[in-house]
Structure 1
Amino acid sequence: MSQNTAAEPGVQRPTITPLDIVRVLVLIAALASLALWGFGEWPMPWSIVVGIGAPVATLLIWALFLSPRPVLRLHPFLRAVVEVLIYVGVTLAWWSMGQAWAGIAFAVVAVTSGVIAGRRALD
């Protein structure tokens, strides 16, 4: 079975950069962190609600404002504010679990990738 690797006319495939991969990993880490925080830090009936609700709400906000093809387009400054608010929430979740260094490490990686991506979007 041979695959045709030649470009098809009229089809433009996006190029995936290492920064895109880091940003996807940051999003996955944020969702996993919020699920861990929700299931681990809340009492029983609320742990299910927060453990499922926090990652779903974060994913919904990401899809609405921050995805590559967002539903609602924002000014780049407001887009950065929404992104930073998500990162602050995840960092505070780590801190509330007693893992301040994990929260700081997440914040550094997330904000650095966000700044680099934001600078590339403005160019």
Structure 2
Amino acid sequence: MNDATPDTPQVGFNDLLRFLLEVFAIVTLGIFGFVAFELPWPGVLLGIGLPLAAILLWALFRSPKAVFRVDPFVKALVEIAVFSSAAIAWWVMGQPVIAVVFAVVAAVSGVINGRREFR
């Protein structure tokens, strides 16, 4: 007997990984804003503004309950923009290993998710 109804989403490993990647990207953009720019201005503004912009983009276009229903290609572009900006931020902060590992993990997870979305 299966307790899950057809409307109940199944959460798998890649879904959890994607959530952690999203949180990591948002935290990264906050760190980047505070570390890479002079404080108090523009560091504080970017340290708060960059994560908020990423959250807004994700909420509008990419989240499961997105405000706008868009084509999967637009979803992919938003995801690429957020994740690549986080990878670039690590690179600019002098952490190329973190940047490359994050970019590779995000890309593989994105491909797996994209294949699932196009089924």
- Asked if these proteins are the same fold (TM beyond 0.5), I'd say yes
Deviation, structure 1 residue 14 = 2.2
Which residue of 9, 29, 40 corresponds with 1:14?
A: 9
- What percentage of aligned pairs have identical amino acids? 38
1:83: which partner in 2?
A: 79
CA distance in 2, matches of 1:39, 1:17: 34
Deviation, structure 1 residue 105 = 0.7
Q: Which runs of 4+ in 1 moved over 4 A?
A: none
Moved more, 10-19 or 51-60: 10-19
Q: The residue matched to 2:8 in structure 1 has which SS? A: coil
Deviation, structure 1 residue 75 = 1.1
What runs of 5+ residues in structure 2 fail to find an aligned partner?
none
Query: TM-score by structure 1 length?
Result: 0.87
1:70: which partner in 2?
A: 66
1:95: which partner in 2?
A: 91
Structure 1 or 2, whichever has the larger Rg, is 1
2:24: which partner in 1?
A: 29
Q: The residue matched to 2:42 in structure 1 has which SS? A: helix
Deviation, structure 1 residue 13 = 3.0
Q: Give the superposed CA RMSD.
A: 1.8
Aligned length: 117
1:78-122 Cα shifts (integer Å, max 9, x gaps): 211121111221111111101111111110111111110111011
Contact 2:33/2:43 (CA < 8 Å) preserved in 1?
yes
